[in-house]
């Protein structure tokens, strides 16, 4: 099976679980003999993936003979004039398109096919522009390569998947790691929602990371349940080794590790920490991550007068994550809406007992984790206190949690994904 796969990030350059999931899945797929071209906007030179071909969208030269230009451009007409997905190649053209709502195809085509696009590889203010340009590159890559199926990870790459499908005629599988309802609640970004829905409608099969996400796709986006399949993520158990890290403090350590955004519920963690410290002041709380709510959380911690027991580390990755888990006594994931949640699995692999919200996809498959409603800070605080003070309870969750998570392998996910590939292509 030959797969053209589109992602937005790849380890070690990640901002969350998406890149980690892409690595785990692709490595496992290679064990089944799957041949993959994995495209990302930008490569930094230190990515390690000998099991597949990594391609950088920014390295693709868009100069072709006239017949190929015409074919690719005609296949890109699905991009609507006047939407934020239009590939605005410079401010003047962008302004002109919106003022006149008329697409001068000759001028735009000349601009597209006479230069390389440079990508930041990040999630900056020009994100929609980069998503659009990425789709253009995808169409060219699709025209230049042979493959059996297209696989696009998350909304940023759905337009790329659609473009590749339009050019090649190959079936499209999209992988929903999160939806706009997870990221923003009911106050959704309409542009992002529209991109997600367009991708879901164009897809021949949709993979969701949990049944929770599957229900959202069916109910919120109006997608037929017949083409939506749940495939749970796995965890890289081999990454965590026994380390002798110095804690540096005598107190127990309780950790939150994730983006400090609405979706992850950091405010509930702070409130629960305050309740725990009222009962036991000999505890340290760590919020590891970054995000748009970080300043607000720092101010709340200061207002509650618990700053001497609360630490903000900023974004952690690689060995720093391992080190954080190694010195943690409890891990808490109080997500308001979590499609899956790989970090609790990583914590359990490191012998850390976990508390997770019932509103997370990973709660569907974990038995040896304490599950609470994200909004119930009293129950969260009681659960933290119990794991810190009752050794028998902690030992039970460590023992059986580690055993449980070791059976959640990426090979299982890869096997199921390969079945979906075979079903949609008709190939064995």
- pLDDT per residue as tens digits for the range 139-192: 889 988 999 999 999 999 999 999 999 889 999 999 999 999 998 888 888 888
DSSP bridge partners of 255: 286, 331
Residues linked to residue 170 through DSSP beta bridges, in sequence order: none
**CA atoms of 186 and 184, how far apart (whole Å):** 6
Q: Which residues pair with residue 311 across a beta bridge? A: 286
Instruction: Report the chain's terminal Cα–Cα distance, integer Å.
Output: 8
Which residue has tokens 């229900």? 215
Q: What is the pLDDT of residues 198-207, one digit of tens each?
A: 999 999 999 9
* Beta strands, E only, 301-369: 310-314, 330-333, 354-357
- Average the pLDDT over each of 41-55, 81-95, 283-297, 380-394 and give the range with the smallest value: 81-95
| Range from 244-248, 280-284, 307-311 carrying the lowest mean pLDDT | 244-248
Res. 121 pLDDT band, cuts 50 70 90 = low
- Among candidate residues 356, 348, 152, 329, the one with its CA nearest the CA of residue 253: 329
Q: What is the pLDDT of residue 111?
A: 47
Pairing of strands 310-314, 172-176: unpaired
pLDDT band at 89 (very low <50, low <70, confident <90, very high): very low
What's the CA gap between 135 and 79, in Å, rounded?
Answer: 10
pTM over 0.85: no
> What is the per-residue pLDDT across 344-393, written as a single tens digit (0 to 9) for each?
999 999 999 999 999 999 999 999 999 999 999 999 999 999 999 999 99
Closest among 162, 73, 142, 138 to 111, alpha carbons compared: 73
């Amino acid at each position: 099976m030959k797969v053209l796969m589109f992602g937005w990030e790849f380890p070690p350059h990640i901002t969350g679980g998406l890149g980690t999931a892409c690595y785990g899945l692709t490595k496992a797929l290679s064990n089944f003999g799957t041949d993959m071209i994995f495209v990302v906007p930008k490569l930094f030179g230190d990515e390690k993936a000998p099991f597949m071909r990594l391609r950088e969208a920014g390295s693709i030269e868009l100069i072709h003979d006239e017949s190929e230009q015409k074919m690719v451009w005609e296949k890109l007409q699905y991009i609507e004039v006047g939407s934020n997905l239009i590939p605005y190649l410079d401010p003047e053209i962008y302004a002109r398109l919106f003022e006149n709502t008329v697409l001068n195809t000759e001028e735009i085509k000349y601009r597209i096919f006479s230069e390389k696009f440079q990508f930041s590889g990040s999630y900056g203010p020009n994100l929609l522009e980069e998503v659009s340009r990425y789709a253009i590159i995808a169409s060219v890559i699709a025209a230049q390569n042979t493959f059996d199926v297209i696989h696009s990870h998350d909304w940023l790459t759905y337009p790329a998947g659609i473009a590749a499908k339009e050019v090649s005629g190959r079936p499209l599988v999209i992988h929903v790691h999160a939806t706009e309802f997870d990221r923003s609640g009911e106050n959704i970004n309409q542009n992002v929602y529209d991109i997600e829905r367009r991708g879901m409608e164009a897809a021949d099969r949709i993979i969701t990371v949990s049944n929770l996400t599957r229900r959202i796709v069916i109910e919120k986006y109006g997608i037929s349940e017949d083409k939506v399949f749940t495939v749970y993520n796995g965890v890289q158990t081999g990454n965590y080794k026994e380390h002798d890290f110095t804690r540096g403090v005598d107190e127990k350590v309780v950790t939150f590790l994730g983006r400090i955004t609405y979706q992850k519920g950091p405010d509930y963690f702070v409130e629960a920490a305050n309740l725990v410290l009222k009962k036991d002041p000999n505890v340290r709380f760590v919020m590891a991550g970054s995000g748009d709510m970080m300043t607000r959380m720092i101010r709340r911690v200061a207002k509650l007068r618990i700053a001497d027991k609360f630490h903000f580390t900023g974004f952690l990755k690689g060995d720093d994550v391992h080190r954080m888990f190694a010195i943690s006594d409890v891990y808490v994931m109080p997500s308001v809406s979590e499609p899956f949640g790989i970090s609790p699995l990583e914590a359990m692999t490191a012998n850390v007992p976990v508390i997770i919200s019932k509103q997370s996809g990973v709660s569907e498959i974990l038995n040896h984790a304490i599950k609470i409603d994200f909004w119930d800070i009293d129950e969260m605080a009681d659960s933290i206190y119990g794991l810190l003070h009752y050794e028998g309870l902690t030992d039970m969750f460590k023992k059986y949690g580690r055993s449980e998570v070791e059976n959640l392998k990426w090979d299982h996910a890869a096997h199921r994904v390969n079945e979906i590939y075979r079903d949609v292509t008709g190939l064995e």
